[in-house]
Amino acid sequence: MGMQKKGFPQKLYPNVIKPYLNGIILKEIEILKPQFIVFFTGPDEYDKVLDDVFSKPKRKSIGNFNERHLCEIEIPDIKKAIRTYHPNYLFRTGNENKNKYYDCIVNEITTVIKNTK
């Protein structure tokens, strides 16, 4: 039995994951009722998953980042949903300023919290 390659499960997504498992994300949100969500996934195939789960939500870049690196995703009943690269990607690429992503995310969420008091 060969080892499965890491990454997006191209072969399983259309026939197994999309029809049977994508709904779990919506159910988790319904049960947990979060105010904030951070998706550490990155773009490309994972954006397609977010499009499938949330019916092609609007995206808006954050700060000086382009939408591919860090963006807000509009999800009903969520105060702030953000998508950025998975931390593993940032570490593998040797990104010297990894914390700039996390600092921006914390700032975005903190701003919302401060403005709702």
Domain boundary assignment for the chain: 34-115
**Is pLDDT of 2 > 60?**
no
Give the position of tokens 């159910």: 27
Tens digit of each residue's pLDDT (9 = 90 or more) over 44-70: 788 888 998 999 999 999 988 888 889
Which residue, 76, 7, 86, 5, is CA-closest to 39? Answer: 86
Residues 6+ apart with CB under 8 A from 48: none
For residue 1, the model assigns a pLDDT of 47
Average pLDDT on 91-97 reads 65
- CB count within 10 Å of CB 57 equals 17
Burial of 81 (0-12, 13-18, 19+ CB in 10 A): buried
